[in-house]
A and B are shown apart, each in its own frame.
Chain A
């Protein structure tokens, strides 16, 4: 069965510093992986996704993620944090190719300090 683990429920960085949010997955089939962001009082917005094309995936707002099969990881990075990046970030994997069910990680709250 597919699952996702996000290491670190809270990450705090200074403005301008590197952002690294960790996600490891478990999947018995080639995975489809997603990063979503949730700003306060809003729904989930797709940042980027991996669908077995390029292993380095670029998303919106300067975020990118690299799929590493050997490490079963899909970590999210951004070279320079901005105050507006403060939000909750969710990694997710498709649980089934037949129904599209998404299985989410626990989420990581990103705090950006001035």
Chain B
């Protein structure tokens, strides 16, 4: 069964450093998402992406964040200058459509900012 994959599974970085989290969505999916889950808190929406454009972003997704689909298979989340509060589990998801369509989640990348 096709699945969403994410790399790395864990990343430790120093505050102020740039990180790139990578995702390979399911191949025939058109809509891509990033969510994050701070330890002990709920899963929060960051950004949705379709047709090489951001469809919607949350207030969390400030100028330090960017997303890109550099080729036909990868979908990346970049944090330019990490802060302590960026420490979280980051999930990538993809779907074939919008309302009512199932979003398939990857296993997540646990980011720790020191």
Contacts and interface: CB of A to CB of B under 8 A. Distances in A.
B45 A42 contact: no
A62 B61 CA distance: 37
Interface in A87-114: 90, 92, 94-107
A101 B48 contact: yes
B100 A32 contact: yes
Interface string B71-114: 00000000000000000000101010111111111111000000
Interface string A6-39: 0000000000000000000000000010101000
- Indicate the size class of the contact surface on chain B: 20 to 34
Contacts of A44: 43, 91, 93, 105
Nearest to B98: A100
B4 A103 contact: no
A104 B42 CA distance: 7
Nearest to B6: A43
Contacts of A102: 33, 35, 43, 45, 103
Contacts of A43: 4, 91, 105-108
The main secondary structure of chain A at its interface with chain B is loop
Given A42-B107, A43-B4, A49 B100 contact: yes
A83 interface: no
Given A43-B108, A102-B35, A97 B99 contact: yes
A25 B91 CA distance: 23
Interface residues of A, number: 28
B55 interface: yes
Contacts of A55: none
Contacts of A96: 56, 99
Interface in B21-44: 31, 33, 35, 41-44
5 contacts: A46-B104, A49-B102, A95-B45, A99-B55, A100-B48
Interface of B: 4, 31, 33, 35, 41-45, 48, 50, 55-56, 58, 91, 93, 95, 97-108
Given A46-B103, A49-B102, A101-B48, 4 more contacts: A34-B102, A44-B43, A100-B31, A101-B45
